Amino acid sequence: MKDVLIYDTTLRDGCQAEDISFTLEDKLRIAAKLAELGIDYIEGGFPGSNSRDAEFFKEVKKLRLKHAKIAAFGMTRKASTRPSQDTGLKALLDAGTPVVTLVGKTWDLHVREDLRIPKRANLELVSDSIAYIKERVDEVIFDAEHFFDGFRCNPEYALECLKAAEDGGADWIILCDTNGGSIPGDILAAMTEAKKVISTPLGIHCHNDGELAVANSMAAVDMGARQVQGTINGFGERCGNLNLCSFIPNLQLKMAKKCASVEQLKEIQKLNDYRPHGSHFFDSPEIKRLLSEEQLRKMREVSHFLYELANLRPNKHQPYVGDSAFAHKGGMHVAGILKNRLTYEHMDPELVGNRQRVLVSDLAGRSNIVYKAKEYGIQLQSEDHAIQDILKRIKDLEAQGYEFEAAEASFELLIQEALGKKKKNFSLIGFRVIDEKRKEGEDPISEATIMVRVDGVEEHAAAMGNGPVNALDRALRKALTKFYPSLKEIELLDYKVRVLSSGEGTGASVRVLIESGDKRDRWGTVGVSRNVIEASWQAVVDSIDYKLYKDSRHSRETKI
């Protein structure tokens, strides 16, 4: 039995998602990254639709991808032309790819309402378009568009379309849940009938409109689908496509026999006397490893690489690869994983390049504090008096609106303060921020002046900025850089303001979260006040204090 082959359509279907647009350079970098991951097919785009996709197929040849096959995507011929005269088919051949994917209608509603041709004529479009391309290209894939809707409404005709594709010589027939509204039972029923009428290898292409793309694709593999089409992070039109970052680990770590975690899972089974995941897939001899262990560990890296190029913030709660996928907040959960991580984790996060995290909040227990302190190289015992002080301080601050889940630098400084180890790097004498708008239609002018004291020496500085917070940040760093030159390395990477109390309008309390970074790290800090400048000041000061604390710790470690 063949392995399951993964067909990535991020560069075509994924680009149809709202808010996503990749440049030619982006697409080439993504193709190279997908090849590193071990993807079998990379669909580069629709050469008949735009010049950028046509250019991609020229440039991608220079990458010399070792394993992945590049596929060009297009439609069956127009009803009014012969295959040899169809401009779309010509564009596919001009792309010069070893694989061509043709999409064709299999739902009689589309034949009737969209193409507006007889059903028999559509069968001819499918068959002779595939035959024409197959004579000139190594491999032809037929995407049976809307197959499951078509099967539900007119099963006989939907199956006739598959037969036409097989008669045309298709190497693969991919059953598409284009509207994303099917459930696993629909997949099983339709594939059962499809296998009765054709012998061509089947694949699956699911959209996620019912939040079932992964479940539907898993069901299809169980029914014998040996090609699975999807996108990284589930990018795609409407609610997106099958998310390969979830599907691949599910298939390899949960469903496949030969995978990195099977022996570990068998041990769990013996210890806990249950069948992992309640799945009959566990001992399936048919499915082999999709990716190497090293490639699978790149899953999170590839996911975040795509988010970065798409200029989107990664989904924290995304299974397997999200920051929160293996994050623990409740004290009972943290106590459990400290004894045995299997108590609250379904797998080892490192298998997909992720890591275990423990969050700190007003739900935290002693175990959370001990765990987080250990992350920072601070050895605490659960009976230490400082832990109770830290817990009380956290609960008091979070009652005021502070949040430390995204501000771990502020939390680490809080631990240092509780232990009496936090250094006071400077004292504020005072600051003033002026935001002035001099003329209608012109941008406001922001200026900040500040006076600080460092080791008895007073320093005064002023700075302009893009808004009052930026001006204050620049003035503070300008005043302190004379004493602490490394502050030149800090960049303010992100700034968020959250209104905490409803009904108070502009007088409401706000929480400011700041993300900062230097050449080595990124860190988050927090401030809360009824005055947005004061809240921002708190977060900025924590950011600077953390940078200086981090530098001194790094210096000590280097000497050791």
For 75-93, the pLDDT digits (tens) are 999 999 999 999 999 999 9
Here the tokens at position 153 are: 């409404």
486-495 pLDDT per residue, tens: 999 998 888 8
The rounded Cα 56 to chain-centroid distance in angstroms is: 24
What is the mean pLDDT of the segment spanning 260-282? 39
Question: Which pLDDT belongs to residue 14?
Answer: 96
Question: Would you place residue 441 in the very low, low, confident or very high pLDDT band (cuts 50, 70, 90)?
Answer: confident
Question: Which pLDDT belongs to residue 178?
Answer: 97
Question: Which pLDDT belongs to residue 58?
Answer: 94
What's the CATH number of domain 5-309, 2.60.40.10, 3.20.20.70, 3.40.50.720, 3.60.15.10? 3.20.20.70
SS3 assignment for 387-416:
HHHHHHHHHHHHHHCCCCCCCHHHHHHHHH
Which 8-state DSSP code applies to residue 510?
A: E
The rounded Cα 187 to chain-centroid distance in angstroms is: 26
Q: Is 140 buried (19+), middle (13-18) or exposed (0-12) by CB count in 10 A?
A: buried
Which is higher by pLDDT, 379 or 14?
A: 14
Distance (Å, whole) CA 151 – CA 179: 13
Question: Which pLDDT belongs to residue 257?
Answer: 40
Distance (Å, whole) CA 459 – CA 453: 6
Q: At how many degrees (to 10) do helices 184-197 and 155-168 cross?
A: 50
Residue 209 contacts by C-beta under 8 Å, 6 or more apart in sequence? Answer: 179, 180, 181, 238, 239
Residue 367 contacts by C-beta under 8 Å, 6 or more apart in sequence? Answer: 331, 334, 335, 338, 382
Do 228 and 287 meet the contact criterion of CB atoms below 8 Å apart? no
The domain locations on the chain are 5-309, 427-559
Question: Would you place residue 545 in the very low, low, confident or very high pLDDT band (cuts 50, 70, 90)?
Answer: very high
Distance (Å, whole) CA 158 – CA 149: 9
**Cβ atoms within 10 Å of 512's Cβ, excluding its own:** 24
Do 256 and 288 meet the contact criterion of CB atoms below 8 Å apart? yes
Q: What percent of the chain has pLDDT over 90?
A: 61
Q: Which of 26-40, 155-169, 244-258, 376-390 has the lowest mean pLDDT?
A: 376-390
HSE toward the beta carbon, residue 395, CA cutoff 13 A: 11
Q: What percent of the chain has pLDDT over 70?
A: 87
Element (H, E) at 260: none
Q: Measure the CA angle with vertex 551, ends 546 and 557; round to 5°.
A: 125
Distance (Å, whole) CA 282 – CA 270: 14
187-240 pLDDT per residue, tens: 999 999 999 999 999 999 999 999 999 999 999 999 999 999 999 999 999 999
Exposure string for 226-265, b = 16+ CB within 10 A, e = fewer: bbbbbbbbbbbbeebbbbbbbbbbbbbbbbbeebbbbeeb
Exposure string for 123-134, b = 16+ CB within 10 A, e = fewer: bbbbbbbbebbb
172-187 pLDDT per residue, tens: 999 999 999 999 999 9
Residue type for position 95: A
Report the relative pairing of strands 99-105 and 69-75 from DSSP bridges.
parallel
What is the mean pLDDT of the segment spanning 464-474? 92
Question: Which pLDDT belongs to residue 376?
Answer: 63
Residue type for position 518: D
pLDDT at 262 over 50: no
323-361 pLDDT per residue, tens: 889 888 776 776 777 677 778 889 999 999 998 877 665
What is the mean pLDDT of the segment spanning 232-259? 88
| Residue of 297, 302, 369, 357 lying closest to 326 (CA atoms) | 357
Question: Which pLDDT belongs to residue 224?
Answer: 94
The fold for domain 427-559 equals Double Stranded RNA Binding Domain (3.30.160)
Question: Which pLDDT belongs to residue 49?
Answer: 76
* CA dihedral sign, ordered 90, 92, 97, 98: negative
Residue 354 contacts by C-beta under 8 Å, 6 or more apart in sequence? Answer: 300, 320, 321, 322, 325, 326
Question: Would you place residue 110 in the very low, low, confident or very high pLDDT band (cuts 50, 70, 90)?
Answer: very high
Distance (Å, whole) CA 191 – CA 188: 5
411-439 pLDDT per residue, tens: 888 888 888 888 899 999 999 999 998 88
| 265-274: long-range pairs with CB below 8 Å, 24+ | 268/342
Question: Which pLDDT belongs to residue 260?
Answer: 34
| Strands ordered across the beta sheet of 522-529 | 491-499, 510-517, 522-529
| Residue of 30, 39, 28, 36 lying closest to 227 (CA atoms) | 39
Which 8-state DSSP code applies to residue 258?
A: S
What is the mean pLDDT of the segment spanning 430-456? 92
Here the tokens at position 3 are: 């392995």
